[in-house]
Structures are given as C-alpha cells and as structure tokens.
Amino acid sequence: MTRGETDGELMLRLDGTRPLSAASVEEMDGLCDRAEDHRESGPVTLHVTGVPPADWWTELTVGLLSKWERVVRRFERLGRLTVVVASGDCAGTALDVLLAADVRIVAPDTRLLLSWAGDATWPGMTVHRLTQQAGAAGIRQAVLLGAPIDTDRALALNLIDEVTEDPATTLAHLAEAAGAVDGTEVAMRRQLIFEAGSTTFEDALGRHLAACDRTLRRTGPSA
C-alpha cells in the first residue's frame, strides 16, 4: 500500500494482488488512526485493484482474519466520509474495503469477484456485505459459483455508485461536499442506515428522535 495526504484528504493505495498479511492490517489501522487524529472533514480515499494469487489463503490463520475483519469494520465506521476508487478486477482485500466504503467509484470494465480458496469461493465477511447490500438473489452466482459481477450488474445491484474514466472530478466534488459536513454527524447517520435494515420502526424511533434532538441542540437558535 502507498499513502498520501492533501488538503485534509487521506489516501491509500491498496494492491489486491497481495495476499492478506499482518502488514495489510497495520496499514489499514494506520489509515484509520490518521483519519481519527486529524480534525479535517475531507474524505478518506482508497484506490484499489487486483485479485490475490491462487494460493493466497494457504498461510492464513483465523487470528489474522479476525484482525483484518475488525480493521475493515473500523474503516466502515470512521467519523469521516469514506471513498473507494476501483479499477480492473477486484477481489480479496480490494473487494473487502470497497464494500465497506460510503461511496464507490469504479473505472469502466471493473469487475467484482469473490476470491477462491481451493475448490470454492472464500466465505468471509464479503459474503455478508454482498448479501446485505444487494440481496441474496442478486449475488447467488457470485458467491456459489464465483461468477464475476461486471459494472452494469454492480450498478443495478447498487454495489457501486459511479462508473467513470475521470475519478478525479468526482473526488473533487466529494471533497467539497464532505468539507461541509461534521464527521461525527456522518458517523451517526451512517449508523442509522446500518440499523434500518434490521430494526423495526418502533425500536428505531427512539434512536432517530435522539439524533433529531441532538441536531436541534447543535444547530438551533440558542446553539
């Protein structure tokens, strides 16, 4: 991975051809640390591409997998807008972080794929995120047979937000929009989105009213 930092925006390049390792976890943790340490409200951006080699899983341990899933979850819940820009075939760590981002921008001909482990696709949390975000019917062939999800299909399933050959323009607009939004408020609204799919109206009402009350206290005439 390579990292960068300009005008409050944090950036990391993730090479999906690299097998998951302790270094992968450390680099993602470092990105999250910098995002939490900086007061700026610009987006946190990852550029991803690549598919891991056929034997990528042979040195894995459950302990390492647990650490990786936790750092991806940490990225998913950051108090700043998160953006992934993807190109080419994306699997493994590249797909993991793409599915955890708030905004997903891809180049034409990008494909999303499940990594293979032996004679079946990898059963990690990517399967959970794909199912939550696109529904079981939409991702069955990808999970069960390893069928690639091309850009048209990914757009139809709402797994990605934009297909473009010029991500820089979109990123500039996102940076401007993110700069006007408080990071803590972004995280709160994201959590309300996460909970909406598994919470009844009655159970959700109190949390949404509490969020509204917080907003009134922050932005009302006496704030």
Q: Write the pLDDT tens digit of every residue in 12-39.
A: 999 999 999 999 999 999 999 999 887 6
pLDDT given at position 197: 79
CA distances in angstroms from 178 to 78, 140, 215, listed in the order given: 13, 35, 18
pLDDT beyond 70 at 9: no
Q: What is the CATH number of domain 2-178?
A: 3.90.226.10
pLDDT given at position 85: 98
- Domain positions in the chain are 2-178, 183-219
CA distances in angstroms from 151 to 22, 110, 124, 163, listed in the order given: 31, 6, 22, 7
pLDDT given at position 7: 45
Q: Where are the beta strands (DSSP E) in 34-74?
A: 44-50
Q: How many residues belong to the chain?
A: 223
Looking at per-residue confidence, does 185 or 27 come out higher?
27
Average pLDDT over residues 61-86: 96
Structure tokens at 197: 């799919």
